[in-house]
Amino acid sequence: MSGELVMRRAREDDLAAIVVMLVQDQIGDADDAGPPLDPAYLDAFRAIDASPDQLLMVAEFEGRIVGTMQITFIPGLLMRGAWRGQIEAVRIDSSVRGQGLGSRMIEWAVDRCRERGCALVQLTSNNARTDAHRFYERLGWSKSHAGFKLMLAKGDH
């Protein structure tokens, strides 16, 4: 695909489009819901946007939002105090999948991690997303770790 893919920071008015992509690709019994948007989305957006170590991005192609992802820059003590980039919630609108846009988004994200001096980039992907796993492996990513989650009830914190 040769059209220009524009990556930019998400704005508040992008939230509906971002949530639609998240819901479109729902796995399991996660509680993301489509419009009207829960006010918690705006609170989360504002917290992400205010952090210098967070990038919530949208991808625009042919004048419309077709992708999203979040990059978190994490300081650590491993590898002599190396920073790492964590890529999360990568989504491509189902209407444009298979056109190379996801590869371009991931390449863009890795470049941002390099610019920030990260020693490595990592991401997680739900075990049920076998197509996504094949996609990441084609891009040179390796399955190096097993991930674990502990879901906390809302209000426990």
User: What are the tens digits of pLDDT across the range 33-69?
Assistant: 655 788 999 999 999 999 999 999 999 999 999 999 9
Q: What is the DSSP letter of 55?
A: E
Gap between the Cα atoms of 39 and 77, Å rounded: 36
Supply the CATH number for residue 74's domain: 3.40.630.30
Place of tokens 């004048």: 63
> What is the predicted pLDDT for the residue at 1?
47
Q: Which residue has the higher pLDDT, 96 or 30?
A: 96
What percent of the chain clears pLDDT 90, i.e. is strictly above it? 65
Q: Is the pLDDT of residue 156 over 70?
A: no
pTM for the full model? 0.88
What percent of the chain clears pLDDT 70, i.e. is strictly above it? 90
Report if residue 144 sits inside a domain: no
Report if residue 47 sits inside a domain: yes
Residue-wise DSSP of 84-151:
EEEEEEEEE-GGGTTSSHHHHHHHHHHHHHHHTTEEEEEE---TT-HHHHHHHHHTT-----------
Q: Tokens in use for 6?
A: 């524009």
Report if residue 78 sits inside a domain: yes
Gap between the Cα atoms of 148 and 131, Å rounded: 20
Q: Output the CA–CA distances (angstroms, integers) from residue 1 to 60, 84, 111, in the order listed.
A: 14, 30, 20
CA dihedral of residues 77, 70, 145, 125 (deg, nearest 10): 170
Report if residue 91 sits inside a domain: yes
Q: What is the rounded end-to-end Cα distance, in angstroms, of the chain?
A: 45
Report if residue 150 sits inside a domain: no
Q: Tokens in use for 30?
A: 């996660």
Range of the domain at 73: 5-138
Number of domains in the chain: 1
* Residues 64-101 pLDDT 10s: 999 999 999 999 999 999 999 999 999 999 889 888 99
Q: What is the DSSP letter of 32?
A: -
Report if residue 153 sits inside a domain: no
Report if residue 103 sits inside a domain: yes
Report if residue 157 sits inside a domain: no
